[in-house]
Amino acid sequence: MRRTSLVLATATVAALLLPSAAMAHAVSGIDYRFPLPVWLYGLAAGLAVLLSAPAASLAVRTAGTTTSRDFYGFVRRFHLGWIGTAVFSLLLLDVIVGGLFGPDDFFENPATIVLWVDFWVGLGVVSALIGNVWDFVSPLNAAGRLIERTLARRGAAVNAYPVRLGLWPATLFLLVWSWMELVWDPAKEPRTLAVILLGYLGLQLLAMVAFGTEVWLARGELFTVVARTLARFAPLELFVRAPAGDCRAALCVGPERIGCPACWLGAAPEDRGVRVRFYGAGVRREAPLGPGGGSFVLALLATVIYDGFSQTEPYVRLQGYFLDHFAWLARHDTFLDTLLMAAIVGAFVLAFLAVVALVSRLERAALADAARRYAPTLIPIAAVYFISHYFLYLIYAGQFTYAAVFDPFGHEWVPDVEKPWKGVPGELVWYLQVALIVWGHVVAVFEAHRVALPIHGAPRRAALAQLPLVLLMVGYTFTGLWVLGQVLAAP
């Protein structure tokens, strides 16, 4: 593992040697420019990722990983799940009431500031850097499980979930949620958002009643699926010793059920475990994503890229091109933005499928099997893009949360933040973003190599077979850094 850590550090340092232009896309007022063009910076980072492939073949000889000892016995005494659920239940009530009856300002209403900033961004950051916490503090998940237990005592049966649906419901919800965030302006209005939230909660509870809470949470509840997906990159690992009975979510296998919150909650306390692993290890240690899982990961990655790109001058010029040639779009700019967002998501999906088609031929495997096997290796990339793009926004906009939550009706009970802090140096932001992106891509290359090892046996053959996938990751690296290095469009 020392060799692996050394390679990761070397690759990151190599990418940082050639600086270019940068800015924090989420927050205005922070602008730092480097003397070299952005393409040169992206080329250096892409080269670092490319060189990590032969490094992986030299450093990684087995698909195994090292984990810490179980420490669940220590944290169990604090009852963090119950405390977290109570806090988030009160916060949910505050968001709904404030959204319906509070002020219209985005930064003064708890519905908009909590849902779009603290919850959405915080969910991704915590899930990727720490682990899946949301499953154990979510009021919606707790309500669904309570309803399921109540109905089970009355002998109510659930419908069989169609296997082919897989994670497609969650993928659809992700695209709609991202469209609301990035394209549809009414979603920034507190009352509209509160009504949408109530409708979403009702729809999710009905689906849990229809198909079973654990089955639906694993496939259709957007925020649970996001937390579980990004948590595959995180260092905290849940596991169940000597599990009895079938997997409650029907998505886990093996003598230890790793990364299955349903099985973990259903097990006796003495059979539960929590331990620490290396970042990215959950990509291959946990169960396959299932049908639609790869599209979910790619949609999560592509929508973040679109978010950054949509705020830049090149995007404005692209819009201008279509508006000049199609006057009808000038009266339907939301439709144009929707098409551009869909095009970017589609391009990411098609690029992955094309690469996996090459890999499947080298492995003499079915395309669907290869896609299902390698799709989780993109999770580290999606995780670091999410963090690098949004973490500064969370720091900046999160400063308004306290006043909005404790004064949901806008009666000035709590003083507003008049001058939010913007003291993060632009240069530091850029270096953190690049370090995160390169680190995530290198981790993805190493995990892809570990996935390929059991199929090809020899490390060299595994490295050659996954070369198309590595080149795709290099392309993602360059694309992400190019977007981060673009000049922001005038507001």
Residue 102 clears pLDDT 90, i.e. is over it: yes
Handedness of CA 122, 125, 126, 132 (dihedral sign): positive
Beta bridge partners of 31: 23
Residue type, 70: D
Query: How is residue 327 annotated by DSSP?
Result: G
17: helix, coil or strand?
A: coil
Enumerate the domain spans of the chain: 2-66+293-484, 72-276
pLDDT band at 212 (very low <50, low <70, confident <90, very high): very high
| pLDDT at 103 exceeding the cut of 90 | yes
Residue 157 has pLDDT above 60, yes or no: yes
pLDDT at 253 over 70: no
Report the Cα 35 to chain-centroid distance in Å.
32
Phi/psi at 104 (nearest 5 deg)? -85, -15
pLDDT at 372 (0 to 100) = 87
Contact 53, 467 (CB under 8 A): yes
- In this structure, of 7-16, 158-167, 327-336, 395-404, the range with the lowest mean pLDDT score is 7-16
Round to whole Å and give the CA distance between 304 and 382: 8
Helix (H, G, I), strand (E, B) or coil at 18: coil
The Cβ of residue 406 has, within 10 Å, a number of other Cβ atoms equal to 11
Alpha carbons 182 and 336: distance in angstroms, whole number: 12
- At residue 485, φ and ψ (nearest 5 deg) are -90, 0
Cα dihedral 116, 118, 120, 124 sign: positive
The whole-chain average pLDDT of the chain stands at 84
15, two tokens: 């990418």
Q: Going by C-beta distance under 8 Å and a sequence separation of 6 or more, which residues neighbour residue 453? A: 60, 62, 63, 459, 462
Q: Which of 198, 204, 235 is nearest to 95 (CA)?
A: 198
Highest mean pLDDT among 1-15, 88-102, 351-365: 88-102
For residues 124 and 112, what is the distance between their CA atoms, to the nearest angstrom?
17
pLDDT above 70 for 48: no
Per-residue pLDDT tens digits for 429-452:
777 887 888 888 888 888 888 888
Within 60-166, residue ranges assigned H as helices are 72-76, 80-101, 110-113, 120-129, 134-137, 139-153
**Strand (E) or helix (H) holding 383:** helix 379-397
127 class by beta-carbon count within 10 Å (0-12 exposed, 13-18 middle, 19+ buried): buried
Q: DSSP E strands: which ranges in 266-419? A: 272-276
The distance in angstroms from the start CA to the end CA of the chain is 47
